[in-house]
């Protein structure tokens, strides 16, 4: 080794031997919607003094890339409501080709029309947009305050800016079961792919989630009755399994945290806006990187401690009148 060369940095590996190559970075717990399966109508968000600065997020993300993270997804809450998101996207986009393979983002689309050109300029090439229905009244009911037309304008702006768009649709019994085939046809017409997601028991919400939980194999039954679907060899770094659809250009992803646990191949770690790493989405154990970063302590040691304590799997269950798996909402952890 040359006298001035830096020692090699150990790659991120958890206690079960899984390599961690994917960071989901929450830039805010705030959101401009209040989706019924995700949030309470009246939310208490973190004080601004409790959250990482844009500079701190950038420094920690760079550290993760140095340790072998190849993909970063910006999440929230709604990441596009965070002041300085353009600066963070540009800083992380500059890492693409220098350790980072890809920078992506998940958004509800409400501010996408404004920010799509910025994302493309920063190096983002694909995004996920949460869209559970194409029926305006149902969209307003599910989100409480959202306008479907705004989301659709955002998606059109993203496509015009050259971004690939994947629609994330949460399967909700009694709310959007009739929307799967229309959504598939809309995605085909608008150049989008589609991923279906089972609802997850995180945080207290007004509705009983068991009223709206539906396993994806039931949700897609109308599709199977109408068209053949078949597995395809596609990987995007996340937990989805992908399928092709007869006579359709749409690639269909399925994320099944309840009906078909996918934890065996987990390659992800989540960094919250508070600077915490939760060892698992469904558990409360965590380490605090914010304090270590601000006090000059051993950030790498804490990251390794978090990975050593990462459980093999979550234990999500949805039963009538059951309490959530954890008290914190998904927006507090990052989607």
> Residue 77, annotated ligand binder?
yes
**Cα-based distances in Å from 334 to 1, 44, 170, 280:** 40, 16, 16, 12
> Residue 235, annotated ligand binder?
no
**CA-to-CA distance for 157 and 180, rounded, in angstroms?**
23
Asked if 26 and 76 count as a contact pair (C-beta separation under 8 A), the reply is yes
> Residue 37, annotated ligand binder?
yes
**Cα-based distances in Å from 311 to 20, 34, 282, 328:** 13, 30, 10, 18
> Residue 263, annotated ligand binder?
yes
Asked if 267 and 38 count as a contact pair (C-beta separation under 8 A), the reply is no
Alpha-carbon torsion (33, 34, 38, 43), positive or negative: positive
Asked if 293 and 59 count as a contact pair (C-beta separation under 8 A), the reply is yes
Alpha-carbon torsion (226, 231, 236, 239), positive or negative: positive
> Residue 280, annotated ligand binder?
yes
> Residue 268, annotated ligand binder?
yes
Compute the residue count for the chain. 335
> Residue 73, annotated ligand binder?
yes
> Residue 269, annotated ligand binder?
yes
> Residue 24, annotated ligand binder?
yes
> Residue 31, annotated ligand binder?
yes
Neighbour-count burial for 213-228, b at 16+ CB within 10 Å, e otherwise = bbebeebbeebeeeee
Rounded to the nearest angstrom, the gap between the alpha carbon of residue 254 and the centroid of all alpha carbons in its chain is 14
Binding-site residues for S-adenosyl-L-methionine sit at 37, 77, 130, 200
Binding-site residues for GTP sit at 24, 73, 106, 166, 268-270
Binding-site residues for [4Fe-4S] cluster sit at 31, 35, 38, 263, 266, 280
Binding-site residues sit at 24, 31, 35, 37-38, 73, 77, 106, 130, 166, 200, 263, 266, 268-270, 280
């Amino acid at each position: 080794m040359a006298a001035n060369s830096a020692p090699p940095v150990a790659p991120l590996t958890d206690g079960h031997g899984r390599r961690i190559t994917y960071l989901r970075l929450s830039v805010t717990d705030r959101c401009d919607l209040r989706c019924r399966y995700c949030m309470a109508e009246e939310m208490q968000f973190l004080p601004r003094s409790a959250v990482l600065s844009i500079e701190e997020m950038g420094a920690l993300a760079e550290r993760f890339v140095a340790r072998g993270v190849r993909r970063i997804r910006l999440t929230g809450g709604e990441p596009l409501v965070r002041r300085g998101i353009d600066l963070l996207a540009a800083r992380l986009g500059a890492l693409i080709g220098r350790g980072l393979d890809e920078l992506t983002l998940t958004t509800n689309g409400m501010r996408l029309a404004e920010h799509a050109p910025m994302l493309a300029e920063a190096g983002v090439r694909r995004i996920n947009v949460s869209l559970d229905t194409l029926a305006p009244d149902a969209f307003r009911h599910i989100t409480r305050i959202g306008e479907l037309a705004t989301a659709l304008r955002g998606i059109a702006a993203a496509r015009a800016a050259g971004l690939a768009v994947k629609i994330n649709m949460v399967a909700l019994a009694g709310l959007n079961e009739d929307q799967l085939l229309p959504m598939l046809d809309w995605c085909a017409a608008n150049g989008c792919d589609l991923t279906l997601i089972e609802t997850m028991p995180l945080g207290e919400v007004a509705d009983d989630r068991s009223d709206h939980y539906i396993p994806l194999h039931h949700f897609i039954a109308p599709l199977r009755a109408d068209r053949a679907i078949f597995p395809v060899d596609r990987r995007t770094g996340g937990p989805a399994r992908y399928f092709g659809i007869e006579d359709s250009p749409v690639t269909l992803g399925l994320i099944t945290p309840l009906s078909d646990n996918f934890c065996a191949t987990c390659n992800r770690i989540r960094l919250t806006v508070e600077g915490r790493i939760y060892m698992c989405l469904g558990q409360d154990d965590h380490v605090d990187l914010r304090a270590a970063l601000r006090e000059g302590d051993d950030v790498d040691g804490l990251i390794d401690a978090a990975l050593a304590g990462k459980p093999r799997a979550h234990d999500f269950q949805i039963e009538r009148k059951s309490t959530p798996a954890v008290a914190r909402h998904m927006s507090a952890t990052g989607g």
